[in-house]
C-alpha cells in the first residue's frame, strides 16, 4: 500500500490541505470499515498505521490479535514520536 494511493482512495486527493473536514471524517470512517474487514496482517497493519497518523487508530489490543503485530505497532509509534522530536529540535 502506497501513501498516495491511500490518500486518493479515502480522501480523493493527495493534498490534505484541499480535503474538507467532512471528506476527512468520511474517509477515516471508510478506512476504519476497511480495517475491520481486512484479513491480511500486512494490509491491516498498513491501514492501522494510516489511521494512527490521523489520530483514529483503534487501540492496539483491539486492533491486533497477535502480540508481534502489537509490538510492531508500538515500534511504529515510537519511531514517529522520535522523528517528530527531531523536527522540533
**Residues near 76 by beta carbon (within 8 Å), at least 6 away in sequence:** 49, 52
pLDDT for the residue 84: 81
pLDDT in tens, 9-45: 999 999 999 999 999 999 999 999 999 999 999 999 9
pLDDT in tens, 61-87: 999 999 999 999 999 999 999 998 766
pLDDT at 89 over 60: no
For the chain, report the end-to-end CA distance as a whole number of angstroms.
Answer: 31
pLDDT for the residue 88: 62
Mean pLDDT over residues 47-65, rounded?
A: 96
pLDDT for the residue 80: 93
Amino acid at each position: 500500500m502506497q501513501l498516495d494511493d491511500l490518500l486518493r482512495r479515502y480522501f480523493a486527493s493527495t493534498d490534505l490541505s484541499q480535503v474538507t473536514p467532512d471528506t476527512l471524517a468520511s474517509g477515516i470512517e471508510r478506512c476504519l470499515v476497511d480495517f475491520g474487514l481486512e484479513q491480511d496482517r500486512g494490509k491491516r497493519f498498513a491501514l492501522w498505521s494510516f489511521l494512527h497518523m490521523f489520530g483514529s487508530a483503534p487501540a492496539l489490543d483491539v486492533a491486533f490479535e497477535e502480540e508481534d503485530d502489537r509490538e510492531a505497532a508500538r515500534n511504529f509509534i515510537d519511531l514517529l514520536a522520535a522523528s517528530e522530536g527531531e523536527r522540533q529540535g
